[in-house]
Amino acid sequence: MSGHSKWSTIKRQKGVTDAKRGQVFTKLANAITLAVKHGGANIDPNSNFKLRLAMDKARSFNMPKDNIDRAVERGMGTGAHNANFDEVMYEGFGQKGIVFIVEALTDNKNRTTSEVKNIIEKNGGTLGSPGSVNYLFERKGELIFKKNAKSSDDILSIVLDAGGDDIEEDEDNILVTTTPENLQTVKQGLEERGVVIDSAQIVYKAKTVSEVDENIVEQSIAFLDKIEEQDDVQNVYSNLP
């Protein structure tokens, strides 16, 4: 679920172990619950785009339908546990100019803040004040899909026709960047053109990446993974290359 690597959604999705699956499902369920609440108890994913993104992400992790339905019920206040979540964001500093943003959902902000701060400081980082890092990032919509033997020219044409702003690629996947406001339109446009979306989300994208050696990158990924393992943390974004 993290965002400190551009392809991490796909890679982590494939690598979720049974031991961590319950924790991941809890985080996904909380995101669905909050999307329903923010949508004024609107449970129609066609008109509540935040809910659609949360449900699509849950399905991409093979989350059972019963779990999704219970999360929706909680958001409507009709489930057995009517949780009241708050969104919180933390900003911090790692090694050699590495900066990061942490997004969390919590029903106890003091507890979550204490736990996240403890993890950061125990692993050599520093928790920053609000605004200390945020200006180094910008909000972007990101979509990931597989190339499926399409040529680069064909992919570029499809993405531009759908309204995407920019694309990056690795050996197997295409990453499309757009504005947060245009994410829904681009997702729909790609799907109408036969593209199967693996991931669609609104992220914090670093304006510039840090120039550090491979050893620092590996250490920083391990550090950020420890933060992400905290129960309330939803996403971690950084300026790692």
Digit-coded pLDDT (tens) for 66-108: 999 989 988 887 655 556 778 899 999 998 889 999 999 998 9
Mean pLDDT comparison of 27-36, 91-100, 169-178, highest-scoring range: 91-100
- Average pLDDT value for residue range 30-53: 86
DSSP-H helix ranges across 49-182: 49-60, 65-76, 109-122, 152-162
Instruction: Quote the pTM value.
Output: 0.84
* Sequence-separated (6 or more) residues with CB below 8 Å from residue 63: 25, 28, 29
Looking at residue 75, what is its pLDDT? 83
* Closest C-alpha to 153, from 140, 141, 137, 169: 169
| Banded model confidence at residue 1, pLDDT cuts 50, 70, 90 | very low
| Banded model confidence at residue 122, pLDDT cuts 50, 70, 90 | very high
Looking at residue 147, what is its pLDDT? 87
| Banded model confidence at residue 18, pLDDT cuts 50, 70, 90 | low
Q: How far is CA 122 from CA 114, 118, 209, 229, in A?
A: 12, 6, 25, 14
Share of the chain above pLDDT 70, in %: 90
Q: How far apart are CA 208 and CA 220, in angstroms?
A: 16
Amino acid at 51: L
Looking at residue 91, what is its pLDDT? 97
- Average pLDDT value for residue range 185-193: 92
Task: Decide if pLDDT at 241 tops 90.
Answer: no
Q: How far is CA 151 from CA 154, 166, 169, 189, 222, in A?
A: 5, 16, 12, 19, 35
Looking at residue 41, what is its pLDDT? 78
User: Which structural domains are found in the chain, ordered by start?
Assistant: 8-76 (1.10.10.200), 86-135+208-238 (3.30.70.980), 138-206 (3.30.70.980)
- Average pLDDT value for residue range 215-230: 91
Looking at residue 166, what is its pLDDT? 87
| Banded model confidence at residue 114, pLDDT cuts 50, 70, 90 | very high
- Average pLDDT value for residue range 134-140: 96
